[in-house]
């Protein structure tokens, strides 16, 4: 067995370098956002980038600090400081939490927890991610204006009068320049990451114009040292806080990484190993914690640019982390002069990108229960507890779905998981058509409610059984209800089928599913009216004429 195929070497080097360049400004910004400083962001990016790549299950994954993980880390840092009276005193709690979070991920990998992560309802994930995005934006308002920021969103909003009374005009100018370059530079070229250009350009303006704005400050030179001494002195009263935040970091990091792994699979036409990915991410986060870095996960932007630049093996991800180490050793002192308002100018657009505008746009169109869950999770995440937000959201989603199932049962409608979608057993009214066109048309039978507990399996099954065909029929006669997760699962499947030139047809849509699909424009935009049929006989007549004319 060949250890490494050198034909990938050039692409891996280019992918790793480009991903490293993209990660550099974000690592510094996320480090500052966490409350532990820019150095912690760099240390985390180096450790996770190298070790998650070497031990993970996605060949092209570029890992490092991410927005959601940083928001949780910042909440932990604030809670630990409140409990101990200062960052130095809190470091034992913080490091132990990060270590345990990584250890939980390793355990998740060995216990095959990855197979359960996919069951999180879409409204919960959407509300949580949107809340995280808003937290990033709100917490950067004061740094953007050159001021020290309160540690919570509620306190930021309460302290807004100070923002308008004491803002630093030079900081606002630099922050504005950063955002302008971030959005405008890609119109010139996308070869060089706009975040890096914005960081350098605004920092140079501040340096040569001698602007009086807060800066990152000293970054230690040389290799990171172990920071494990304080964990032995952690008081037992802090254990509940440590376990609570460690579990949230582990679950969130796992979801974040596995979603990015799916994106990498789609780009490279490969299949990642979910459990190994969690083990690799856990090891990376444990090493990051050991040297005083913040935790992270698979980074979507870094992974995409890595693949686009030619990265194809885990060497590319390891090189991305190694590049950041080289920057730390060679250019660390220059980073000390970066204004904090410039980092805020990078984080604010990133925060808005994390907000799920698609889910929010459809909040008045999707089932009311899903909209309620999304809004509640969004509000609790933004202004309350991240941990409680996920717990309340999942419990509420399950409760509301059970109520909906009960209501449907009382009306005499069949309720249960969607099943029998493999298309291998034609129904009685399909036999004649099936025998003649089974090589050109696949019929998917859906039975029961299409809800969050089934969407992942549904997407996998459709992809697995829809190769080299002309059309795919969804028989929806026995689907009385579809939730937001089901709507978006169908949308993803239809988009994939259309890209492959496969016509998608709905037969027997019931009132609620049809109403939902029309409200979010799946019908009309993705599936035209001519591909909707009340009965399968009319559908077959249409397809026979169409297929014979080809």
**Are 322 and 444 in a shared domain?**
no
Q: Is 248 exposed, middle or buried (0-12, 13-18, 19+ CB in 10 A)?
A: buried
* Same domain flag for 351 and 432: no
The answer to whether position 323 is within a domain reads yes
On whether the CB atoms of residues 344 and 143 are closer than 8 A, the answer is: yes
User: Cα torsion at 67, 152, 43, 347 (round to 10°)?
Assistant: 40
Residue 88 maps to a domain = yes
Do both 128 and 39 map to the same domain? yes
Question: What range does the domain containing 73 cover?
Answer: 13-355
Token digits of residue 157? 């909003």
Let me know how long the chain is.
Answer: 550
Residues 267 and 126 in one domain: yes
Asked whether residue 122 is domain-assigned, the answer is yes
Q: Which residues contact 216 (CB under 8 A, 6 or more apart)?
A: 28, 32, 37, 38, 335, 336, 337, 338, 339, 340, 343
Give the domain-ending residue among 304, 336, 355: 355
Per-residue pLDDT of the chain in tens (550 residues, 90 and over written 9): 467 778 889 999 999 998 998 899 999 999 999 999 999 999 999 999 999 999 999 999 999 999 999 999 999 999 999 999 888 899 999 999 999 999 999 999 999 987 776 667 888 888 988 998 899 999 999 999 999 888 889 999 999 999 999 999 999 999 999 999 999 999 998 888 888 899 999 999 999 999 999 998 877 777 888 988 888 889 999 999 999 999 999 999 998 898 888 888 878 878 889 999 999 999 999 999 999 999 999 998 889 989 988 898 999 999 999 999 988 888 777 888 889 999 999 999 988 988 999 999 999 988 888 899 999 999 999 998 887 887 888 888 777 666 655 554 444 444 444 444 444 577 788 888 888 888 888 888 877 777 655 556 666 666 666 567 888 888 888 888 888 888 888 888 888 888 888 899 999 999 999 999 999 999 999 999 999 999 999 999 999 988 887 6
- Is there a single domain that holds both residue 341 and residue 455? no
Query: In the listed set 355, 382, 413, which residue is the last one of a domain according to the structure?
Result: 355
Asked if the structure places residue 87 within a domain, the reply is yes
* Cα–Cα distance, 374 to 367 (Å, whole number): 11
Please tell me the pTM assigned to this model.
0.81
196 and 317 belong to one structural domain: yes
Residue 405 belongs to some domain of the structure: no
Could you identify the residue written with the tokens 């927890």?
A: 113
- Considering the domain architecture, whether residues 313 and 181 belong to the same structural domain is answered as yes
d(CA 449, CA 455): 10
Kindly state whether residue 210 falls inside one of the protein's structural domains: yes
Same domain, 227 and 90: yes
Are residue 346 and residue 436 in the same domain, yes or no?
Answer: no
Q: Has residue 140 been placed in a domain? A: yes
- How many structural domains comprise the chain? 2
| Domain presence at residue 6 | no
Among 309, 335, 355, the domain boundary falls at 355
Same-domain check for residues 17 and 122:
yes
Asked whether residue 292 falls in the same domain as residue 197, the answer is yes
| CATH number of the domain where residue 468 is located | 3.30.750.24
How many angstroms separate the CA atoms of 32 and 213, rounded?
15
């Amino acid at each position: 067995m060949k250890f490494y195929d050198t034909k990938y070497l050039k692409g891996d080097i280019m992918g790793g370098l480009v991903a490293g360049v993209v990660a550099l400004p974000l690592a510094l910004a996320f480090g500052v956002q966490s409350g532990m400083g820019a150095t912690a962001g760099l240390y985390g990016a180096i450790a996770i980038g190298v070790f998650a790549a070497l031990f993970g299950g996605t060949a092209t994954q570029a890992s490092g600090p991410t927005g959601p993980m940083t928001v949780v880390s910042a909440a932990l840092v604030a809670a630990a400081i409140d409990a101990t009276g200062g960052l130095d005193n809190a470091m034992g709690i913080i490091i132990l939490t990060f270590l345990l979070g990584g250890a939980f991920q390793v355990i998740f990998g060995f216990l095959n927890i990855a197979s359960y992560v996919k069951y999180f309802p879409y409204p919960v994930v959407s509300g949580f991610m949107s809340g995280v995005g808003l937290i990033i934006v709100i917490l950067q308002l004061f740094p953007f204006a050159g001021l020290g920021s309160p540690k919570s969103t509620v306190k930021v909003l309460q302290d807004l009068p100070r923002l308008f009374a004491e803002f630093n005009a030079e900081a606002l100018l630099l922050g504005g320049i950063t955002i302008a370059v971030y959005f405008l530079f890609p119109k010139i070229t996308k070869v060089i990451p706009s975040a890096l250009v914005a960081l350098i350009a605004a920092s140079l303006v501040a340096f040569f114009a001698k602007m009086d704005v807060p800066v990152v400050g000293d970054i230690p030179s040389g290799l990171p040292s172990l920071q494990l001494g304080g964990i032995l002195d952690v008081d037992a009263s802090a254990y509940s806080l440590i376990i609570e935040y460690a579990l949230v970091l582990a679950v969130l990091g796992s979801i974040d990484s596995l979603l990015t792994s799916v994106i990498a699979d789609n780009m490279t036409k490969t299949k990642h190993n979910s459990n190994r990915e969690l083990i690799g991410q856990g090891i990376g986060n444990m090493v990051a914690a050991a040297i005083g870095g913040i935790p992270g996960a698979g980074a979507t932007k870094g992974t995409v640019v890595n693949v686009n630049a030619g990265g194809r093996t885990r060497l590319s991800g390891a090189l991305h982390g190694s590049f950041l180490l080289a920057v730390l050793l060679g250019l660390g002192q220059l980073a000390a002069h970066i204004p904090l308002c410039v980092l805020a100018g990078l984080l604010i657009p990133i925060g808005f990108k994390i907000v799920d505008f698609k889910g929010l746009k459809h909040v008045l169109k999707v089932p009311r229960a899903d909209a309620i869950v999304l809004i509640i999770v969004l509000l609790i995440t933004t202004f309350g507890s991240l941990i409680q937000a996920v717990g309340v959201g999942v419990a509420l989603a399950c409760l509301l779905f059970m109520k909906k199932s009960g209501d449907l049962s009382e009306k005499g409608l069949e309720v249960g998981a969607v099943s029998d979608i493999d298309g291998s057993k034609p129904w009685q009214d399909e036999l004649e058509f099936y025998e003649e066109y089974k090589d050109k048309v696949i019929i998917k039978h859906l039975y029961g409610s299409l809800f969050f507990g089934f969407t992942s399996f549904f997407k996998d099954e459709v992809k697995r059984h829809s190769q080299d065909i002309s059309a795919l029929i969804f028989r929806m006669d026995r689907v009385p209800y579809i939730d937001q997760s089901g709507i978006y699962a169908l949308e993803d499947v239809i988009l994939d089928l259309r890209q492959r030139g496969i016509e998608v047809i709905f037969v027997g849509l019931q009132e609620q599913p049809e109403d939902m699909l029309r409200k979010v424009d799946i019908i009309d935009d993705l599936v035209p009216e001519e591909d909707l049929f009340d009965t399968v006989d009319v559908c077959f007549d249409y397809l026979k004429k169409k297929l014979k004319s080809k």
